[in-house]
């Protein structure tokens, strides 16, 4: 019975709960049990292990009372970067060990208001810096398709939990690809909404001008359900604006009347895309045409500079955002004789190597004398990338690319080479730089270069700002035609 429950999509489970066919408590219990058996290190906190006092933070006064709420009784896994009142929140960092926030992030509060319940907090790369979850201060999460491989990052725990059937849905954050890339590597749907669609209040800041919250789910309908609950203007985040007209549930079955641009820089001519990934990408592009969509090549001339601009801008913002972790306000404190020494010791012990690297890069890029040469220049590149997209969208409704140049790689394979790791985001970084929405859907399976087990490949669709609903709709039609069997993830 509980196996059957665990195969339900969010939309199906919500419908059964609404009709009285399924008890919310029974459904939640099935997932508590599944989550308790987490062998993927996907979850850093589980409601199953929590005390009654802890659990207060997962409930709202109205919990379970109103089955009419759209997500009534739906368990959700929340990336550990979202503050949850009274529940440990680490952002994957040892510096926040033991920290229990006094408030809850708006995105999580809205999910709960819609009836969802927090099932667990997901493992992640420390402060969302990474593409493999190997930068977590709590050990890597594992890919359910092959536990010798990474689930992607930084929302790796969220993706592993959904693909590994520990949760029906999860939320994560995407700054340069951290929702879409792990979704691709784990064979699920992951969406980064338009910047400002979802409030960042209570989401521990990495690079504030890029960070955006979004859903990781088994299909596009579930992604729309979660986004619909979370989007909106929030007085606590002055950059939030919501999505005008809200989010429609996707229903499209063909792609007639829609045009898709394939940017040669991120697809056809891009180097470093694995042969198997390329094949699945080309097959999916052909499917778009079969569904009545128009496909033609386009260009995003500045997109190849996305990685360089991103790795100046994101560390610059991070170096400022992470200054607050000083041993005084949150989590870890290493005592010392002098105040400055206390700061230094705490930060030296609490932050991992990648976070330190980014703080140093960012501080350097912002220092007087270098500010214009690095930060100013990267900002100008960012503008060019946004202009490239605007131009492409004059002609096309959407732009499509592979999500990740490779399928899931082996644990340890890229840890000694930060640049190789950074290139995992080649196709996903341009969209947040432009502030536009993008979604990754599973498009098929492929072997890694050099052979090995067949692993999921993600297909990315990006659209103009606030086209979130239309993009989900197009992705839905394509998803139906692809017919990907997500069950592989539970092997």
> Min. distance of Cβ 104 from ligand GLN in angstroms?
21
CB nearer to ligand GLN: pick between 129 and 171: 129
Cα-atom radius of gyration of the chain, to the nearest Å?
21
| Pair 458, 180: CB distance under 8 Å | yes
Query: Which position has the token pair 């007085």?
Result: 235
CB nearer to ligand GLN: pick between 176 and 352: 176
> Min. distance of Cβ 269 from ligand GLN in angstroms?
23
Q: Which of 47, 132, 154, 240 is flagged as catalytic? A: 154
> Min. distance of Cβ 285 from ligand GLN in angstroms?
25
> Min. distance of Cβ 90 from ligand GLN in angstroms?
15
Q: Does residue 365 belong to the site contacting ligand GLN (CB under 6 A)?
A: no
- Mark 404-443 with x for binding to ligand GLN (rule: CB under 6 A) and - for no binding: ---------------------x------------------
Q: Does residue 80 belong to the site contacting ligand GLN (CB under 6 A)?
A: no
Q: What is residue 315's three-state secondary structure?
A: helix
> Min. distance of Cβ 428 from ligand GLN in angstroms?
8
User: CB nearest ligand GLN: which residue?
Assistant: 178
Tell me the longest C-alpha to C-alpha distance in the chain: 70
The binder of ligand GLN chosen from 174, 234, 237, 317 (CB under 6 A): 174
Q: Does residue 131 belong to the site contacting ligand GLN (CB under 6 A)?
A: yes
Closest CA to 378 of 210, 238, 239: 210
Burial (CB < 10 A; 0-12, 13-18, 19+), residue 12, is: middle
| Pair 173, 81: CB distance under 8 Å | yes
The binder of ligand GLN chosen from 73, 92, 115, 176 (CB under 6 A): 176
Catalytic site residue 154?
yes
The binder of ligand GLN chosen from 178, 199, 298, 404 (CB under 6 A): 178
| Contact window for ligand GLN (CB under 6 A) among 110-118, 170-178, 326-334, 434-442 | 170-178
Q: Which of 155, 178, 467, 469 is flagged as catalytic? A: 178
Q: Does residue 177 belong to the site contacting ligand GLN (CB under 6 A)?
A: yes
CA distance 303 to 436: 14
Closest CA to 152 of 77, 81, 209, 216: 216
Contacts of 445 (CB under 8 A, 6+ apart): 280, 454, 455, 456, 457, 488
Q: Which of 47, 79, 93, 404 is flagged as catalytic? A: 79
Q: Segment 320-349, which members bind ligand GLN (CB under 6 A)?
A: none
> Min. distance of Cβ 181 from ligand GLN in angstroms?
7
At 175, phi and psi to the nearest 5?
A: -115, -40
CB nearer to ligand GLN: pick between 181 and 221: 181
> Min. distance of Cβ 313 from ligand GLN in angstroms?
10
Catalytic site residue 136?
no
| Contact window for ligand GLN (CB under 6 A) among 67-75, 129-137, 162-170, 222-230 | 129-137
Closest CA to 275 of 449, 427, 460, 457: 449
Is the backbone of residue 74 left (phi > 0), alpha (psi -120 to 50) or beta?
A: beta
CB nearer to ligand GLN: pick between 179 and 262: 179
| Pair 159, 216: CB distance under 8 Å | yes
CB nearer to ligand GLN: pick between 34 and 95: 95
Tokens of 43: 């979850």
| Contact window for ligand GLN (CB under 6 A) among 7-15, 123-131, 243-251, 335-343 | 123-131
Half-sphere exposure of 294 (CA within 13 A, CB side): 8
Tokens of 363: 């501080």
- Mark 201-220 with x for binding to ligand GLN (rule: CB under 6 A) and - for no binding: -----x--------------
Q: Does residue 130 belong to the site contacting ligand GLN (CB under 6 A)?
A: yes
Q: Does residue 403 belong to the site contacting ligand GLN (CB under 6 A)?
A: no
> Min. distance of Cβ 206 from ligand GLN in angstroms?
6
CA angle (465 as vertex; 390, 301 as ends), nearest 5: 30
| Pair 132, 409: CB distance under 8 Å | yes
Q: Does residue 129 belong to the site contacting ligand GLN (CB under 6 A)?
A: yes
CA distance 75 to 48: 12
CA distance 119 to 142: 19
SS3 content of the chain, % helix, strand, coil (to 5): 40, 15, 45
Closest CA to 206 of 441, 432, 468, 374: 432
CB nearer to ligand GLN: pick between 58 and 133: 133
CA angle (359 as vertex; 357, 362 as ends), nearest 5: 105
Q: What is the bridge-based pairing of β-strands 259-263 and 398-402?
A: parallel
Q: How many residues form the binding site for ligand GLN (CB under 6 A)? A: 13
Q: What is residue 122's three-state secondary structure?
A: strand
> Min. distance of Cβ 81 from ligand GLN in angstroms?
9
Mind telling me the catalytic residues? 79, 154, 178
Positions that interact with ligand GLN (CB under 6 A): 128-131, 154, 174-178, 206, 314, 425
């Amino acid at each position: 019975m509980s196996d059957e429950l665990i195969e339900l999509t969010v939309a199906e489970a919500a419908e059964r709960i609404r009709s009285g066919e399924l008890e919310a408590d029974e459904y939640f219990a099935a997932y508590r049990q599944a989550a308790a058996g987490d062998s993927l290190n996907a979850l850093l906190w589980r409601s199953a292990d929590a005390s009654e006092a802890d659990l207060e933070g997962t409930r709202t006064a109205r919990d379970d009372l109103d089955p009419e709420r759209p997500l009534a009784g739906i368990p959700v896994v929340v990336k550990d970067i979202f503050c949850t009142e009274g529940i440990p929140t680490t952002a994957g960092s040892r510096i926040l060990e033991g920290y229990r926030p006094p408030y809850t992030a708006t995105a999580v509060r809205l999910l709960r208001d819609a009836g969802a319940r927090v099932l667990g907090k997901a493992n992640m790369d420390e402060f969302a810096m990474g593409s493999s979850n190997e930068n977590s201060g709590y050990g890597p999460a594992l890919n359910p398709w092959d536990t010798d491989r990474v689930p992607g990052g930084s929302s790796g725990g969220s993706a592993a939990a959904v693909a590994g059937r520990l949760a029906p849905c999860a939320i994560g954050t995407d700054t340069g690809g951290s929702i879409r890339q792990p979704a691709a590597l784990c064979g699920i749907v992951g969406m980064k909404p338009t910047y400002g669609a979802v409030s960042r209040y209570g989401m521990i800041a990495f690079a504030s001008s890029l960070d955006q919250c979004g859903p990781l789910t088994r299909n596009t309908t579930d992604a729309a359900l979660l986004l619909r609950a979370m989007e909106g203007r929030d007085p606590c985040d002055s950059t939030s604006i919501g999505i005008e007209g809200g989010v429609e549930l996707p229903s499209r079955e063909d792609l007639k009347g829609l045009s898709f641009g394939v940017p040669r820089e991120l697809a056809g001519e891009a180097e470093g895309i694995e042969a198997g990934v390329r094949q699945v990408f080309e097959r999916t592009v052909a499917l778009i045409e079969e569904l009545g969509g128009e496909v033609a090549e386009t260009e995003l001339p500045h997109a190849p500079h996305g990685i360089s601009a991103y790795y100046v801008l994101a560390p610059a913002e991070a170096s400022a955002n992470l200054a607050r972790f000083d041993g005084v306000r949150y989590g870890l404190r290493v005592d010392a004789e002098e105040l400055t020494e206390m700061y230094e010791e705490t930060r030296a012990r609490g932050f991992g190597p990648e976070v330190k690297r980014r703080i140093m890069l960012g501080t350097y890029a912002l220092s007087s004398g270098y500010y214009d040469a690095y930060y100013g220049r990267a900002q100008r590149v960012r503008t060019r990338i946004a202009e490239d997209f605007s131009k492409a969208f004059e002609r096309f409704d959407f732009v499509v690319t592979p999500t990740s140049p490779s399928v899931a790689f082996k644990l340890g394979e890229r840890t000694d080479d930060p640049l190789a790791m950074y290139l995992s985001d080649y196709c996903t970084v341009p969209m947040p730089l432009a502030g536009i929405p993008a979604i990754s859907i599973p498009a098929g399976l492929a072997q890694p270069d050099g052979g090995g087990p067949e692993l999921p490949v993600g297909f990315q669709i990006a659209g103009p700002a606030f086209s979130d609903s239309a993009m989900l709709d197009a992705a839905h039609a394509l998803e139906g035609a692809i017919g990907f069997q997500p069950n592989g993830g539970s092997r």
